[in-house]
Amino acid sequence: MRHILSILVENEAGALSRVAGLFSARGYNIETLTVAPTEDTTMSRMTIVTTGSDEIVEQITKQLNKLVDVVKVVDLSEGKHIERELMLVKVRAAGKDREEIKRTADIFRGRIIDVTDKSYTIELTGTTEKLDAFLEALDRSAILETVRTGVSGIGRGEWVLKV
């Protein structure tokens, strides 16, 4: 099963490699990983999407908590949450395709952020499924380049992840 882990880590050199190293050393999956400092500059927040049985995800959580640089770990998928991913797609857009691609981007609430006479670069935000669906909707051969940030997640309502 897919789980979204939110992790607060000390903003120390090497904290990221401790977390990434734990996953590779113990054979856990990382589907996506995002990390950036929080409003408290002494801490960074990571969002890791992983897959595994409940037992494995329980072990992952325990092992993460054992790392000295890790301040807090929460499995967002245990409660109501929101997840978003940002994608930039460069597509070939020439001639009659230009209008069709623009329409598709509009349907998905994407924004064209760069234009040449042969290409569009589209910015799209949403869940992983939505981004996948947008790529499906495009003509495969038109896609020149994609770059995705991986999932960022946050709990719904007034609950906050804090120290």
Provide the binding-site residues for other proteins, judged by CB under 8 A.
9-10, 13-14, 17-18, 21, 25, 55, 58-59, 62-63, 65-66, 68-71, 163
At its nearest, how many Å lie between other proteins and the CB of residue 41? 15
Minimum CB distance to other proteins smaller for 17 or for 116: 17
CA distance 107 to 110: 8
**Using an 8 Å Cβ cutoff, are 55 and 25 in contact?**
no
At its nearest, how many Å lie between other proteins and the CB of residue 57? 12
Minimum CB distance to other proteins smaller for 17 or for 127: 17
At its nearest, how many Å lie between other proteins and the CB of residue 139? 44
Give which of 152, 124, 159, 157 is closest to 138, Cα–Cα. Answer: 124
Minimum CB distance to other proteins smaller for 9 or for 76: 9
Task: DSSP letter for 142, please.
Answer: G
Count the neighbouring beta carbons within 10 Å of the beta carbon of residue 132.
Answer: 14
Minimum CB distance to other proteins smaller for 2 or for 26: 26
One-letter amino acid for residue 128 of the chain? T
One-letter amino acid for residue 120 of the chain? Y
At its nearest, how many Å lie between other proteins and the CB of residue 152? 21
CA-based max dimension of the chain: 57
- Two tokens at 35? 């990390």
At its nearest, how many Å lie between other proteins and the CB of residue 51? 19
Inter-CA distances, 37 with 16, 121, 148, Å = 12, 27, 19
Minimum CB distance to other proteins smaller for 68 or for 160: 68
